[in-house]
C-alpha cells in the first residue's frame, strides 16, 4: 500500500502528503473527517488543503455552509506533470542561452533535509555534460543501506543514461555488494584501507562537485570547471595508488 512518505518524493511536504492521501482514501469529504483520517489538527488541515488547492491536487466543493474537498484524480496529476515537463523542455534552449551569457562564475547550490537531499542527488546523472562518468569518493553505506529502493531507482536511471561510476568506498557490506554487482551495474570499485570509515561523499561529474553529509543530511553542489578538474585529478591519483 502506498505511504505518505512515497508521495514526498513528488514535491509535497510531510503534512501535505498525509492530507492528500487521506482525502484520496475518503473521497469527497469534510475538513473534519480528512483531518481525523490524516491525524492532523483540523485548523492545520484546512491550511494544508488551501496549499493543495493552489497545487491543483484537490478541489473545493461548497454546499450552503458545508465545505468539502475532493482529491484530484492521480491520472490528472500525472498529465499535469507531463504537460509542465513539455513546456519546460520547450523553454530549455532559451534558458540555457541566458545561462551561458557573460563570464563563467562559480555557482554554489545548498540543500538540507532528507527530501531536498534525495531530490538533489539526481543531479549527478541528470546534469547535462559530455562527461559520462561519475567519480565517487567516500561512503555508500548510508544511501544504499537507508534508502535501498531510492538507490535502486537511481542506479537503473544511471544505467539507462549510459553513465558509468568509479567509486572508492569503505569495505562495508554495501561496498562489497557494489563490487559484486560492478560489472552488471557499470561500476568500478576500489576500497579504502581497513579501518577507514566515512559519513560523507564527494562526487565529481562534468563541471560540478557534489558534497554530501549523510549525518547532517546536507548536500552542496559546486559548479566550477577548474575546481571539478582539480577534484578529478585528486580522485585519479587516489585511484592509481589504491590496490585493485
Domain boundaries of the chain, sorted by first residue? 4-73, 106-241
Determine the Cα–Cα distance for residues 221 and 82; give it in Å rounded to an integer: 27
Give the C-alpha separation, 72 to 59, whole Å: 7
Which pLDDT value is given to residue 93?
80
- First-to-last alpha carbon distance for the chain, in angstroms, is 43
What pLDDT shows up at residue 63?
80
Residue-level pLDDT at 97: 73
- CATH classification number, 4-73, choose in 1.10.10.10, 1.10.1740.10, 3.20.20.70, 1.10.287.310: 1.10.10.10
The correct CATH number of 106-241 out of 3.30.420.40, 3.30.870.10, 3.40.50.1820, 3.40.50.970 is 3.30.870.10
* Amino acid 8: pLDDT: 62
Q: What is the pLDDT of residues 36-79, one digit of tens each?
A: 999 999 889 999 999 889 888 899 988 877 889 998 888 877 78
Residues of the chain with pLDDT under 70: 1-11, 99-104
Question: Does the predicted TM-score (pTM) go above 0.75?
Answer: no
- Residues ≥6 apart with Cβ < 8 Å to 167: 135, 136, 137, 140, 178, 187, 188, 189, 190
Amino acid at each position: 500500500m502506498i505511504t505518505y512518505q512515497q508521495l514526498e518524493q513528488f514535491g509535497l511536504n510531510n503534512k501535505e502528503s498525509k492530507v492528500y492521501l487521506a482525502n484520496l482514501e475518503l473521497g469527497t469529504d469534510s475538513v473534519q473527517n480528512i483531518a481525523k483520517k490524516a491525524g492532523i489538527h483540523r485548523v492545520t488541515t484546512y491550511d494544508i488543503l488551501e496549499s493543495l488547492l493552489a497545487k491543483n491536487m484537490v478541489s473545493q466543493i461548497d454546499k450552503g455552509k458545508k465545505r468539502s474537498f475532493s482529491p484530484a484524480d492521480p491520472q490528472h496529476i500525472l498529465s499535469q506533470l507531463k504537460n509542465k515537463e513539455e513546456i519546460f523542455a520547450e523553454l530549455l534552449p532559451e534558458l540555457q542561452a541566458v545561462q551561458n551569457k557573460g563570464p563563467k562564475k562559480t555557482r554554489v547550490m545548498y540543500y538540507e533535509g532528507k527530501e531536498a537531499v534525495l531530490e538533489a542527488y539526481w543531479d549527478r546523472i541528470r546534469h547535462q555534460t559530455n562527461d559520462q562518468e561519475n567519480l565517487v569518493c567516500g561512503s555508500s553505506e548510508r544511501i544504499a543501506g537507508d534508502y535501498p529502493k531510492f538507490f535502486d531507482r537511481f542506479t537503473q536511471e544511471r544505467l539507462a543514461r549510459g553513465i558509468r561510476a568509479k567509486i572508492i568506498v569503505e569495505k562495508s557490506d554495501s561496498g562489497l555488494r557494489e563490487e559484486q554487482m560492478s560489472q552488471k551495474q557499470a561500476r568500478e570499485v576500489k576500497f579504502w584501507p581497513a579501518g577507514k570509515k566515512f559519513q560523507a561523499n564527494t562526487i565529481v561529474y562534468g563541471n560540478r562537485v557534489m558534497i554530501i553529509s549523510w549525518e547532517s543530511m546536507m548536500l552542496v553542489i559546486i559548479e566550477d570547471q577548474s575546481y571539478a578538474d582539480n577534484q578529478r585529478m585528486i580522485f585519479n591519483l587516489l585511484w592509481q595508488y589504491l590496490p585493485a
